[in-house]
Amino acid sequence: MAAVKIISGLIGHSYALIADGIESILDILSSIAVWGSLKIAAVPPNERYPFGYGRAEPLAALVVASGLMVAATGIAIQSIREIMTPHHMPKPFTLVVLVLVILIKELMFRFMFRAGQSIGSQAMQVYAWHHRSDSITSLAALIGISVAIMAGEGYESADDWAALFACAIIYYNGIRLFKSALEEVLDAAPPPEIENQIRDIASGLKGVREIEKCRVRKSGMQYFVEIHVEVDGELTVNQGHEIAHQAKAALLDSELSIADAVVHIEPHP
């Protein structure tokens, strides 16, 4: 697709299409980064890395989001240069190429985003937006070239303005996705519903009076939990220990992809 867009842009005198093709090349590099990070994140914990390699996944997301912003900046600079330099009118056949590209890229976005959500991969969801941004730049190019062709002489730069507009959208998404990945690297709390589910699982066990504290962090595609469970203060150490084991087992057996849970027992109240 990258080759088709760049060649079509060169032959058809459309810089917006060439810029779109350049971003597709960056998509290839980004996909390699995401694939590599998922392979690393799947490596089991060991003595040196007892919490596993999950951080490789959001770090790749940071790289991909950064690439998105760099690409947007580069395309914007070149779009401004093209606007200031008179050039040929885009060829009508470039519109057919762009329609096909928009359809394919939108399907790729939907497939990849759903896959990322299903396995809880931040990097895959960020990378999916590369496909969405590609379809946005293609749509902008389609509109710009259509305006240039229909309006005629004097409007040759319409597709360059369209590329510039698309860059602003891509850059905004890059910042948003970078922030999301950075929060995961810095151990930001997951969505409240995740913590509520964990609390519900633990509090529903026999012998658990209340949940005093619950802290959750995400590493790659899994969660690590630290939870303080209140039990009857008159129980023996063995009885409290058994409740802690039951709480941990219930959390690890849940559908929340919990890699490990530390359960601390507190006397109630």
What pLDDT, on a 0 to 100 scale, did the predictor assign at position 246? 94
Q: Is the pLDDT of residue 16 over 70?
A: no
Q: What is the CA radius of gyration of the chain?
A: 25
Over residues 241-250, the mean pLDDT reads 94
pTM of the model: 0.65
**Token pair 């057996």: residue:** 253
Over residues 37-62, the mean pLDDT reads 84
What the chain holds in terms of domains, given with CATH numbers, is 2-185 (1.20.1510.10), 192-268 (3.30.70.1350)
197 neighbors 256 (Cβ within 8 angstroms): yes
What lies within 8 Å, CB to CB, of 111 at 6+ separation is: none
Amino acid identity at 113: F
What pLDDT, on a 0 to 100 scale, did the predictor assign at position 200? 93
Could you tell me which of 136, 134, 171, 137 has the C-alpha nearest to residue 24? 134
What would the pLDDT profile of 55-113 be if each residue is shown by its tens digit? 887 888 888 888 878 878 887 887 788 778 766 677 788 888 888 888 988 898 999 88
* Helix extents (H) in 152-258: 158-185, 192-203, 237-252
CA distance 160 to 145: 9
Cross-strand pairs, 262: 226
Q: Is the pLDDT of residue 147 over 90?
A: no
What pLDDT, on a 0 to 100 scale, did the predictor assign at position 87? 64
Q: How far is CA 28 from the centre of its chain?
A: 16
Angle 151-11-70 (CA atoms, 0-180°, nearest 5)? 85
Per-residue pLDDT band at 201 (split at 50, 70, 90): very high
Tokens representing residue 19 in the block: 């810029």
**Token pair 């690890």: residue:** 252
Angle 126-124-141 (CA atoms, 0-180°, nearest 5)? 50
Amino acid identity at 43: V
DSSP assignment of 161-175 equals HHHHHHHHHHHHHHH
CA distance 37 to 31: 10
What would the pLDDT profile of 202-236 be if each residue is shown by its tens digit? 999 999 999 989 999 888 778 899 999 999 989 99
Q: Can you give the length of the chain in residues?
A: 269
Q: Is the pLDDT of residue 239 over 90?
A: yes
